[in-house]
A and B are shown apart, each in its own frame.
Chain A
């Protein structure tokens, strides 16, 4: 097992860990968004979806543990890389100018990541650990939360941060995994931007819709 740990201690190994865990999150985000879109179909549709999820309890438990492990790795590695990269250039340039490679996504990865992490704590506290009963289902908890304009704004900010993070993270993970070829990289880049827009818009519209209609 020594070679295994040694591999992930190298710079490329750390990139791989970021990429693999990032890919896992993209899968989760896609599922999570698709499920939550049932909110647009009303209370019954959403509760039916929640019920269906509860029916898969064992699978959900495994997925949750997996996501938690992935989150710990992603955050810990991200922090390690952030500190190491800061340390690699002690004296900064007086003039910093991008040649055109940097974009809002790539330049803000640690910061959008931090916003997402803080949001996640709030989000789990809002919904995953919420007290629910037959009178007050998770649907009521969700609509009560989004009745507050403050929460809507927080969720909007988080959706934008997530979209910006994915805008760089999506294609970047393929590059880190060594998958960059003229044949498919242009498509991956376009899909990444589309994915970021859909995820950002999807998660942003839910709180707005519920705030305005319920």
Chain B
């Protein structure tokens, strides 16, 4: 049932290229519980603009939970308290009237804050550039489908391919490790026949790129898997570990 709630927001504000920021407090009044979290921020921003104040900067694009652009740490959890949900798909009905919500950007050395809640996730792109692709030309869809793939393998590859690269795993990891992201890419490409020829080279270069970019190391806390909006399993990290060992000794 639709109702309106009032909230207090504690939002991280940080100017472009300034090393330090701080929390500002805003009142979000008359927020419909049918709104998404980002729509709620839109309302707050409209009021800030009317008051001639700088609106809160946050990343967003599709608002359908599939592009991986949005994301903030809400009350200590990446993409907020709702499991398997991106911030844009999180609805205000999950919050209580008069609640105080703390909103922070992804925190990792590898993800410098650009402004407010916007961070530079270019490090993930660099990892992809290091080997997260297939160079072989597979032709049009028809040709690619000529290679039959078992249902179980196809499902596993698809589950890994569901990774939208939002960076929530890094944000949620107590060590700011990117291993779930890299593991997902390694699985998604390495499980399929088109990706297998380059599998060894891929795992070696992607892991090296990840290490170079200043991410932390996985200590199997499993927070990434739980806070991932696509519920990517840590079994993908195990597969990456396995593939890395195989590639190292062969």
Q: Chain A residues in contact with chain B, CB under 8 A?
A: 3, 7, 10-16, 81, 84-85, 87-102, 106-107, 109, 168, 171-172, 175-182
Contacts and interface: CB of A to CB of B under 8 A. Distances in A.
Given A11-B207, A88-B175, A89-B109, A180 B238 contact: yes
Given A99-B227, A101-B226, A180-B235, A85 B245 contact: no
A88 B241 contact: no
B-side binding surface: helix, strand, loop or mixed?
A: mixed
A120 to B, nearest CB: 21
Contacts of B245: 12, 16, 177-178
Contacts of B109: 87-90
Given A3-B248, A172-B219, A88 B211 contact: no
Pick from B110, B220, B248 the residue with the most CB of A within 10 Å. Answer: B220
A93 B241 contact: no
B225 A11 contact: no
6 nearest interchain CB pairs?
Answer: A178-B242, A97-B76, A88-B216, A101-B222, A180-B238, A99-B226
23 contacts: A11-B207, A12-B207, A85-B177, A87-B109, A88-B176, A91-B107, A92-B107, A93-B104, A94-B102, A95-B75, A98-B223, A99-B223, A101-B221, A102-B221, A107-B221, A175-B234, A176-B241, A178-B238, A178-B242, A178-B243, A180-B237, A180-B238, A182-B235
A97 B107 contact: no
B221 A106 contact: yes
Interface of B: 10, 12, 23, 73, 75-77, 83, 102, 104, 107-110, 172, 174-177, 179, 207-208, 210-211, 214-227, 234-235, 237-245, 248
Contacts of B176: 85, 88-89
B219 A85 contact: yes
A16 B246 CA distance: 13
Given A99-B226, A107-B174, A15 B214 contact: no
Given A7-B248, A102-B223, A95 B102 contact: yes
B110 A12 contact: no
Contacts of A88: 108-110, 175-177, 214-217
Contact of A176 (B12, B208, B220, B225): B220
A21 to B, nearest CB: 15
Contacts of B104: 93-95
B238 A97 contact: no
Nearest to A103: B221
Given A97-B76, A175-B234, A178-B239, A102 B174 contact: yes
Contacts of A93: 73, 76, 104, 107
